[in-house]
Amino acid sequence: MPSIGETAPDFELRNQDDVPVRLSQYLGQKVVLFAFPQAFTPGCNAQACGFRDRFPVIQANGAVVLGISPDQPETLRRWKTENGLPYDLLSDPDHRVLDGWHAWGKSLFGLLTIPRTNRSIWVVDENGVVIEEALGVGPVESIQRAVKALGGA
């Protein structure tokens, strides 16, 4: 897992339109990467729409946003459309990237342990270095921390 001050490992995943997206294609720009458990759920809606609502501030600070979850591209496409999300959503159904970034884990619900994505954020600078990370963070806090790391209010 990349930590603050380390170079973010490159990866390639398919976006909501089934088009491959590489993290390295954004070198020269800042990237806000957020991991979310599942599209169309209340907490994920709050997080994704919060990044949508703060998108002008994020853009003004020279950054792009990428969301990542185990959802399939077609699910992500519907969710993006229904919520008017102005950024790409990436599909990681095998949890390869989520696990490598320590955002794949288990949650305890009563007596059941369920594998799932831990809501997390990372901010990567123009040189590919991680400048902020928060694992297991709440929807609102994830947005606040990302915007603050970019220098936004």
Give Cβ neighbours of residue 118 (< 8 Å, ≥ 6 apart). 35, 37, 102, 103, 104, 105, 107, 135, 136
- Of the listed 44, 68, 89, 98, which one is catalytic? 44
Known active-site residue 44: yes
Strand runs labelled E in the chain? 12-15, 20-22, 30-35, 63-69, 88-91, 104-109, 112-117, 120-124, 130-135
User: Which tokens go with 114?
Assistant: 């369920």
Task: Cite the active site residues.
Answer: 44
